[in-house]
Chain A
Amino acid sequence: MPDPNDRREFIRGLLLLSAAGLAACASKPTPQPAAPTATAAQPAARPTGEARTPSAIPPAATPTLVVSRGGDPAELTRRAIAALGGIERFVKPGANVIVKPNICNAYHGPEYASTTNPNVVAAIVALCLGAGAQRVRVMDFPFAGSPQASYETSGIAAAVVAAGGQMEMMNRLKFRKTAIPQGKKLRSSNIYGDILDADVVINIPIAKNHGSAGLTLGMKNLMGVIQDRNTLHAWGLHQCIADLNTAIRPQLTVVDAYRMLMANGPTGGNLDDVKQANTVIASADGVAADAYAATLFGIQPAEIGYIKLGAELGLGTMDLSAIKIEEIAV
C-alpha cells in the first residue's frame, strides 16, 4: 500500500510543474503582433515630461537650445548643459534618472559612430549624480547581439561605471502594454516600465544616417524602449515614432554629434562614413534638438517625417528661427 503522504507530495509536485509549464506557454511572445489597438484596460502612458518637469522655470534669458563646438566630448556636454541652465534645472536631489543612449548593436567601437559617445554619456551620468540624483541608470535594447556585448563594445559600460552610474540590462518582464491616447497610428505599445516610472529621462542619441528614417536622432532613439519594433515600419515608421514620443517625453535631449555617421547607418562599420563634427546639441525640446541636428547633415527638419509629424503633434518646435539658440565654442 503506497504511503498517502508520498502521493500528496507527488501531486503537489505535479501541480507546481504543470503551473510552471502553463505559465511558460502563456508567456511565449506572440510571434506576429496584431495591429495595435488601444483598449480601455491598458494604463495610459503618463507623458514623462509634462507630468514631472520640475517647477523651476528657467530665467527668460535661458536659450531653448544650446550648440557647443570644438573640444572633447565630455567638456562639450558639460558646457552645453550649463548654458541650458545647468543639470539642476532637470534633476532634483533624490531623483530616479534613466539615461537612454543609442547602443544599437555590438558590432563596432565608438570611433565608428554607430553608438553614442561614451564620454558624453559618462559626463551626463556624473552631472546627474552631482545634482543629487538618487540613482542613474543607463540602458538600451540592442537590435542585434547581446546587451552585455553591446554595452561593452560601445565603451559605454566602462565609462558609465567609472562615472558612478549603473548599466541596466533591459528586463523583458518590465515591459508594460501601455495605451498611447495621443497616438494617431500607434495607439498602444509594450513600453519599458522603468522609463515610464522614472523621475527624469535623458535621451542621448548619436546623429546618424538611417535608411528608412533618413536620420536617426533623438525621437527615433526612443524606439529602443519598446518591444515589437519592426512592425512599426509596416504601419508607417515616422508617424509611429511621433506617436511614441507623445508617451515618452524626455526632460532633456542631448544629441551627440561629436562623430556623425553619414552613410551606411544605423549600423556603420566604415570609418570613411564617419565625420568628425565635434558638436553637441542640448535642449529640453526634443523636436528642436532633432531639427537642429538634421541641419548638420544639410537636411531641412521638415524633410524628416518624424520631426515634422512631432511638431504637428505639438511635441516641440522644428522652426529654428522661432527659438533662442546659443552657440558656444569650447
Chain B
Amino acid sequence: MSTLRRLRPWVQALAFASFCVLLIGAGKLAFLPADLFFRLDPLAALANMLAARQIVPALGVGAAITLAATLILGRVWCGWLCPLGAVLDWVPARRSKRFEPDPAPRLRQVKYFLLALIGVAALLGNLTFLILDPITLIYRTGTTAAWPGLVALISGAEALLYRAPLLQAPIDWFEGAVRGVLLPLVQPAYGLGILLALIFIGILALNAIRDRFWCRYLCPLGALLGVVSKVAWLRRKVGDVCVDCQRCARACPTGTIDPQQGFASDPAECTMCLECVPVCAQSGQSFTGHLRPAAWRPYDPSRRQFLAAASAAVVAAGLFAAEPAAIHDDPRLIRPPGAQGKTFLAQCIRCGLCVKACPTSGLRPSFDQAGWAGIWTPVLTPRLGYCDYTCTACGAICPTGAIPPLALVDKRLTVIGHAAIDRDRCLPWADNITCLVCEEMCPLPTKAIVLEDVTVSQPGGGEPLAVRRPTVLQDRCIGCGICENRCPLTGEAAIRVYAPTNLSTGG
C-alpha cells in the first residue's frame, strides 16, 4: 500500500502531463486522441446522451470504463487521474498541526445538488450546467487562458532573445520547426480568457479554506462517482489496533475520516489517495473488498434535495426559454459548419476542443451571444478569425457530433452565414477608392463577391471617376468570413457576416 501511495503523485503528474500534451496537440497533432479525457468523463457523456436523446458510442465506452473502475476501486479517478484534482493537490493548502473537523459537512451535498441539476436539466434538453464539469472547466481554462498566455510568452521571449545575434539561428530553427506545427500562426486571444482564469484561480484559492474544497463540496463529477462509490467493492477499513492518534484524519485531503465515527471514512468522499496509510502508527487500516452498500450520511443525496434540484432545473429551463436569444437568434451568432441551431445546444458539452482546434482562433466561447443558456458554446467571430476553406478541424475533433464531422468537399458547401457590405463604410462605395480585398480573398471557385465597373461624378465637380465596386451574391456566399477578417478598414469591417436567415436556408 505504501508503495502504491508513493506512486500516486507520479500517476497524477503523468495524467496532468497527458492532459496538457493533448490540449496543446489538439487540432495540430491528429494522431493524438485529443478528446481522451472527455471520453472518460461519465458526467459529460451521460448528460449529452440524455439531452440529445442519442447514443454516442465513443463517449459511452469511455464513460463505462470510468464507471466500472469506480465500481471496483472507488473514486480513483478523483485521487489519481483527474487533472483538476492533480492541480488542487499541488496548490499549497491550509495545513494544521491539530485535527480540525469539517466545519460544514452539510456543504458536501452541494455537489449532489449540482449533479441533480445537471441531470434534470439534461433530461429537459439543456446542457448549460455542464460548464461545472471539472474536465470542461479545466480544458476551457487551458484553451482560452493558459495556452494563449503561454504562446504570448514564447513569442515575446523569441522577439527579445532574437536581438542577440548568436541566438538567431537556434530561434530560426525553433520557429521553422514549431510555428504552424504546434504554435499557432496568429496569437490566439479570447476576451473571456482573463475571466475564466480568475474563476479557475478562485477554485484553487478555495483550497485555503479546506484541502480539495472543490472536490469535497462542489464537483458534480465527483458527486456522480461518489454515488457509485457507495457500492464500490474496494473500501478503507479501520482495524482494532487503532490507538486514536488522529494522524489519518489529519492527513485525509477530503476530510472524510471522522474521529466521531471510529475514524471510519465515507467511500463516497474517499478519493483512494492512500495518504492515510503511511501515517498510521499501528498499520491499523486496510483496503478490502465489500459487497454491501456503505452507510448513508446526513449530507448524502436525499429525495428532498433531488426535488429541489429538479425544481431549480425547471426554473432555469423557464428562464432560459424566456431569454431574447431563445426567441430571436443573435444576427451575428455564426456557428461552426454543420452545427444545427437548437439541437446544437443539446449536444454541445462546452468542452472547448473546437475552440482550441480552430487554426485562425475564429471559433470562440460565447458569453451571452447565444443567451446564458448557450454560455461558452463556440461562435465564429470573423473579424478575429475566419473559417478556413481547407479546414475541417472543429467537426473532426468534436467528441459529441454537435459539430458534424464533414468531409472537406461538403464543408466547402456548408453555409454558416452570409456576408453583407456596409456601403457607408466600404471604400469603393463610400469614398470612391478602389479596394477589392474582399473579392480577392473570397475562396469560392465562383466568387460570391462580384465587381461592377461604374463611373461616378465627383461631388466637388471635376472629371468623372471610374470605380470598381464589390457586391455579395447571397446565393453563393457560405459565410466563411475571410472577407470580414481581411477588410482593411480600421475597427469594424465594411463587409460583415451575419447568421443565415430562414429565408436564405429555406427553413
Chain A contact residues, CB within 8 Å of chain B:
19-29, 32, 105-107, 143-149, 153, 168-169, 171-174, 210-212, 230-231, 233-234, 236-237, 264, 266-270, 273
Distance from A115 Cβ to chain B, minimum over Cβ atoms (Å): 13
The 8 Å CB contact of A23, one of B160, B436, B486, is B160
Interface pair B153/A20, CB less than 8 Å apart: yes
Residue of A nearest to B442 (CB): A267
Q: Identify which of A19, A107, A267, A273 gathers the most chain B CB atoms within 10 Å of its CB.
A: A267
- Write out the residue numbers on chain A whose beta carbons fall within 8 Å of the beta carbon of B244: none
Interface pair B447/A264, CB less than 8 Å apart: yes
Which B417-447 residues have a C-beta within 8 angstroms of A?
Answer: 427, 433-437, 439-447
Interface pair A27/B488, CB less than 8 Å apart: no
Distance from B415 Cβ to chain A, minimum over Cβ atoms (Å): 17
Interface mask (B169-197 → A, CB under 8 Å = 1, otherwise 0) = 00110011001110001010000000000
- Write out the residue numbers on chain B whose beta carbons fall within 8 Å of the beta carbon of A107: 389-390, 443
Total inter-chain residue pairs, C-beta < 8 Å: 129
Additional A-B contacts beyond A145-B388, A267-B447 (12; CB < 8 A) = A26-B156, A28-B152, A105-B389, A105-B390, A143-B486, A144-B482, A145-B391, A146-B180, A148-B180, A210-B440, A211-B439, A212-B435
Distance from A112 Cβ to chain B, minimum over Cβ atoms (Å): 8
Interface pair B445/A27, CB less than 8 Å apart: no
The 8 Å CB contact of A173, one of B175, B181, B486, is B175
- Taken together as a complex, chains A and B put the C-alpha atoms of A211 and B436 apart, in Å, by 7
- Write out the residue numbers on chain B whose beta carbons fall within 8 Å of the beta carbon of A28: 152, 187
Interface pair B389/A234, CB less than 8 Å apart: no
B414 contacts A by Cβ under 8 Å: no
Distance from B224 Cβ to chain A, minimum over Cβ atoms (Å): 38
24 A-B contacts, Cβ less than 8 Å apart? A20-B153, A20-B160, A24-B156, A27-B155, A28-B152, A105-B443, A145-B389, A171-B176, A173-B158, A173-B162, A173-B171, A173-B175, A211-B440, A212-B434, A212-B468, A234-B489, A237-B435, A264-B446, A267-B440, A267-B443, A267-B444, A269-B443, A269-B444, A270-B445
Interface pair A230/B156, CB less than 8 Å apart: no
- Write out the residue numbers on chain B whose beta carbons fall within 8 Å of the beta carbon of A145: 388-391
- Taken together as a complex, chains A and B put the C-alpha atoms of A302 and B80 apart, in Å, by 73
- Taken together as a complex, chains A and B put the C-alpha atoms of A22 and B185 apart, in Å, by 20
- Taken together as a complex, chains A and B put the C-alpha atoms of A146 and B489 apart, in Å, by 24
Residue of A nearest to B187 (CB): A28
> Contacts A20-B160, A23-B159, A27-B156 hold; do A149 and B441 have CB atoms under 8 A apart?
no
The 8 Å CB contact of B172, one of A24, A32, A171, is A171
- Write out the residue numbers on chain A whose beta carbons fall within 8 Å of the beta carbon of B386: 144
Interface pair B427/A24, CB less than 8 Å apart: no
Please provide the 8 A-B residue pairs with the shortest distance between their CB atoms, ordered closest to farther: A24-B156, A269-B445, A212-B436, A23-B156, A27-B159, A23-B160, A270-B445, A211-B439
Distance from B448 Cβ to chain A, minimum over Cβ atoms (Å): 10
- Taken together as a complex, chains A and B put the C-alpha atoms of A144 and B487 apart, in Å, by 14
> Contacts A171-B176, A173-B162, A173-B175 hold; do A144 and B156 have CB atoms under 8 A apart?
no
- Taken together as a complex, chains A and B put the C-alpha atoms of A169 and B444 apart, in Å, by 26
> Contacts A144-B388, A269-B444 hold; do A22 and B180 have CB atoms under 8 A apart?
no
Interface pair A144/B158, CB less than 8 Å apart: no
- Write out the residue numbers on chain B whose beta carbons fall within 8 Å of the beta carbon of A237: 434-435
Chain B contact residues, CB within 8 Å of chain A:
152-153, 155-160, 162, 168, 171-172, 175-176, 179-181, 185, 187, 359, 386, 388-391, 427, 433-437, 439-447, 451, 468, 482, 486-491
- Taken together as a complex, chains A and B put the C-alpha atoms of A266 and B388 apart, in Å, by 16
> Contacts A20-B157, A24-B152, A173-B162 hold; do A234 and B390 have CB atoms under 8 A apart?
no
Interface pair B156/A268, CB less than 8 Å apart: no
> Contacts A23-B156, A25-B156, A143-B441 hold; do A169 and B468 have CB atoms under 8 A apart?
no
Distance from B390 Cβ to chain A, minimum over Cβ atoms (Å): 5
- Taken together as a complex, chains A and B put the C-alpha atoms of A24 and B446 apart, in Å, by 41
Residue of A nearest to B171 (CB): A173
> Contacts A107-B389, A145-B389, A230-B486 hold; do A21 and B153 have CB atoms under 8 A apart?
yes
Interface pair B435/A233, CB less than 8 Å apart: yes
Distance from A308 Cβ to chain B, minimum over Cβ atoms (Å): 15
> Contacts A20-B156, A26-B159, A269-B443 hold; do A233 and B176 have CB atoms under 8 A apart?
no
- Write out the residue numbers on chain A whose beta carbons fall within 8 Å of the beta carbon of B155: 24, 27
- Write out the residue numbers on chain A whose beta carbons fall within 8 Å of the beta carbon of B444: 264, 267, 269
- Write out the residue numbers on chain A whose beta carbons fall within 8 Å of the beta carbon of B446: 264, 270
Interface pair A32/B442, CB less than 8 Å apart: no
Distance from A186 Cβ to chain B, minimum over Cβ atoms (Å): 14
- Write out the residue numbers on chain B whose beta carbons fall within 8 Å of the beta carbon of A169: 175-176, 179-180
Distance from A304 Cβ to chain B, minimum over Cβ atoms (Å): 13
Interface pair B159/A233, CB less than 8 Å apart: no
- Write out the residue numbers on chain B whose beta carbons fall within 8 Å of the beta carbon of A231: 488
Distance from B441 Cβ to chain A, minimum over Cβ atoms (Å): 7
- Taken together as a complex, chains A and B put the C-alpha atoms of A147 and B178 apart, in Å, by 12
Distance from B173 Cβ to chain A, minimum over Cβ atoms (Å): 10
Residue of A nearest to B184 (CB): A146
Residue of B nearest to A210 (CB): B440
- Write out the residue numbers on chain A whose beta carbons fall within 8 Å of the beta carbon of B445: 264, 268-270, 273
Residue of B nearest to A143 (CB): B441
The 8 Å CB contact of A212, one of B172, B185, B187, B440, is B440
The 8 Å CB contact of A21, one of B156, B359, B447, is B156
- Taken together as a complex, chains A and B put the C-alpha atoms of A270 and B436 apart, in Å, by 20
The 8 Å CB contact of B179, one of A153, A171, A270, is A171
- Write out the residue numbers on chain B whose beta carbons fall within 8 Å of the beta carbon of A153: 390
Distance from A152 Cβ to chain B, minimum over Cβ atoms (Å): 11
Distance from B478 Cβ to chain A, minimum over Cβ atoms (Å): 13
- Taken together as a complex, chains A and B put the C-alpha atoms of A45 and B491 apart, in Å, by 31
Interface pair B389/A144, CB less than 8 Å apart: yes
The 8 Å CB contact of A147, one of B171, B180, B443, B486, is B180
- Write out the residue numbers on chain B whose beta carbons fall within 8 Å of the beta carbon of A172: 175, 179
Distance from A309 Cβ to chain B, minimum over Cβ atoms (Å): 14
- Write out the residue numbers on chain B whose beta carbons fall within 8 Å of the beta carbon of A29: 187
> Contacts A144-B389, A230-B437, A233-B435 hold; do A168 and B156 have CB atoms under 8 A apart?
no
The 8 Å CB contact of A19, one of B160, B439, B468, is B160
- Write out the residue numbers on chain A whose beta carbons fall within 8 Å of the beta carbon of B390: 105-107, 145, 149, 153
- Taken together as a complex, chains A and B put the C-alpha atoms of A169 and B177 apart, in Å, by 9
Interface pair A22/B156, CB less than 8 Å apart: yes
- Write out the residue numbers on chain B whose beta carbons fall within 8 Å of the beta carbon of A236: 434
- Taken together as a complex, chains A and B put the C-alpha atoms of A212 and B160 apart, in Å, by 38
- Taken together as a complex, chains A and B put the C-alpha atoms of A153 and B156 apart, in Å, by 31
- Taken together as a complex, chains A and B put the C-alpha atoms of A173 and B156 apart, in Å, by 11
- Taken together as a complex, chains A and B put the C-alpha atoms of A32 and B489 apart, in Å, by 8
Distance from A62 Cβ to chain B, minimum over Cβ atoms (Å): 37
Distance from B386 Cβ to chain A, minimum over Cβ atoms (Å): 8
Residue of A nearest to B386 (CB): A144
Distance from B450 Cβ to chain A, minimum over Cβ atoms (Å): 9
Interface pair A233/B388, CB less than 8 Å apart: no
